[in-house]
Chain A
């Protein structure tokens, strides 16, 4: 992505942009997301175990978590790919702080679920 198109590969930013139509800044986003899904089909065909092992939690967990991930990644301008991989590699202080925040919170969340016996 960087070498070809000069962009950082931040999934949440690309997806969020795909939700708001803007001429000349939309189709590439949709195509990238389509590529992610097409890649999923290839994985499913070659290594089904990578794709078929999905969450077994009650749907309400997934709904709340999904909303938090959507809201949080746009508010914080990035997710694991944009901040965690591309940002850290660019030695960005913003991304370092963001990555630290979401890693710590993810760890706290899992620890809390364990404590409450729902993990």
Chain B
């Protein structure tokens, strides 16, 4: 029970951080990506602040034998660099630049009840489902496909 509640609390805190940092404003995000135009570097500080803080806290937290609530660590361990990682990230970057939303701020922004954000989140979920179909199809056809 407490561990389930903790996920909700983290979600709320995360959303507050996104809002205060300016990530829920797509104009700010696009201004940050607009380095050849009217560049607004403020989000670089939000990102660098988050990374700097997490570099330090990550080291300290990982010194513990286990997390406080969960019995195990669930840290990504993959090290392989492949076309899927880069290709997917390029597609994500294109969408991010086009609309100014990444997944977290998009979900938090749903509360604006703006039509555009519902379209974005709907299509984002559709994109995720599309990928799992494509991925399953490729894996079925060629289990050794390095792309799959």
Contacts and interface: CB of A to CB of B under 8 A. Distances in A.
B143 interface: no
A28 B98 CA distance: 31
Contacts of A114: 34, 36-37
Contacts of B129: 19, 70
Contact of A65 (B69, B74, B110, B120): B120
Interface string A79-108: 111011111111111100111011111111
A68 B79 contact: no
Q: Specify the main secondary structure of chain A where it touches its partner.
A: helix
Contacts, number: 388
A66 B12 contact: no
B146 interface: no
Interface string B65-81: 01111101111101111
Interface residues of A, number: 92
Interface residues of B, number: 98
25 contacts: A6-B73, A15-B107, A16-B132, A31-B8, A35-B13, A38-B12, A40-B109, A40-B110, A51-B111, A55-B120, A61-B99, A66-B99, A69-B101, A70-B127, A70-B128, A75-B135, A76-B89, A89-B51, A92-B76, A98-B88, A105-B96, A108-B93, A109-B94, A110-B37, A119-B37
